[in-house]
Amino acid sequence: EFVLTQSPRTLSLSPGERATLSCRASQSISSTFIAWYQQKPGQAPRVLIYGASNRATGIPNRFSGSGSGTNFTLTISRLEPEDFAVYYCQQFGSSPLYTFGQGTKLEIK
């Protein structure tokens, strides 16, 4: 079964700092099939990045995605107070059709 492993599980940083979140796939996948989501408490997730590096509509350019093969990264260049949330990576595949990572909680230090 396909697995996405996110690290770290919790990341403690201060506003203005740079955040680097990792998502590792159990097998190589096309970068086309990787997306990243942000979820704040009590809210539905929101797509940030699709196709590993494409920002979704309305997403600030401080969010960027990169990677290929089995290793993918979400970078937030300079943290704003509203960026502290939980982040999930997602892959589109064949079985199961979609898989989510277990999430990284980005908290204020």
**For binding to another protein (CB under 8 A), which residues are involved?**
32-33, 35, 37, 39, 44-47, 50-51, 54, 56-57, 88, 90, 92, 95-103
How far apart are alpha carbons 102 and 9 in whole angstroms?
Answer: 8
Stated length of the chain: 109
Nearest to another protein of 41, 81 (CB atom):
41
φ, ψ at 46 (rounded to 5°):
-130, 130
22 or 39, CB closer to another protein?
39
Backbone angles phi, psi at 21, to 5 degrees: -115, 140
Shortest reach from residue 16's CB to another protein, in Å: 28
Q: Which amino acid is at 51?
A: G
Nearest-approach distance from CB 65 to another protein, in angstroms: 11
Rounded least distance, CB 70 to another protein, Å: 19
> Is the CB of 14 or the CB of 57 nearer to another protein?
57
CA geometry: angle 66, 36, 3, nearest 5 deg: 90
